[in-house]
Amino acid sequence: EAGVTQSPTHLIKTRGQQATLRCSPISGHTSVYWYQQALGLGLQFLLWYDEGEERNRGNFPPRFSGRQFPNYSSELNVNALELEDSALYLCASSLDPWGRGYTFGSGTRLTVV
């Protein structure tokens, strides 16, 4: 069974540009979660999508947005990139929002220069 796949693995962008990160969940999982791990910090919750709808959102500005497609894959968009957006972005999928069944991808390392 394929795990959660994220693309690209690494992304380098210039301040002010937009970044698009992609996530394919495990087959059958309808929930997708996005987390940001900045250097020295724990994982910070960004967004939760389920059945195509945004179900919950973390304490991030509106320039962090995303969507979930009918095949349950998801996209995270970060507009007007700032240097502090440089981080590892992790996607997880699950059938169960209580975290026990979370399967994380390996992440996208975003570097803003």
Partner 1 sequence: DQQVKQNSPSLSVQEGRISILNCDYTNSMFDYFLWYKKYPAEGPTFLISISSIKDKNEDGRFTVFLNKSAKHLSLHIVPSQPGDSAVYFCAAMSGGTSYGKLTFGQGTILTVHP
Q: Contact between 86 and partner 1 (CB under 8 A)?
A: no
Q: Please state the φ and ψ torsions of residue 84, each to the nearest 5 degrees.
A: -75, -5
Nearer to partner 1 by Cβ, of 50 and 75: the residue is 50
Does residue 42 belong to the site contacting partner 1 (CB under 8 A)? yes
Per-position DSSP letters for the chain, written without gaps between them: ----EEE-SEEEE-TT--EEEEEEPPTT--EEEEEEE-TTS--EEEEEEETTEEEEE-S--TTEEEEE-TTS-EEEEE-S--GGG-EEEEEEEES-TTSTT-EE---EEEEE-
* Contact status: 99 vs partner 1 (CB under 8 A): yes
The answer to whether 103 contacts partner 1 (rule: CB under 8 A) is yes
Output the smallest distance, CB 88 to partner 1, in A: 9
Task: Name which of residues 1 to 40 contact partner 1 (CB under 8 A).
Answer: 4, 31, 33, 35, 40
Gap between the Cα atoms of 13 and 92, Å rounded: 23
90: contact with partner 1 by CB under 8 A: yes
In the complex, the smallest distance separating the C-beta of residue 50 from partner 1, rounded to whole angstroms, is 8
Q: Which residues bind partner 1 (CB under 8 A)?
A: 4, 31, 33, 35, 40-45, 48, 50, 55-56, 58, 90, 92, 97-107
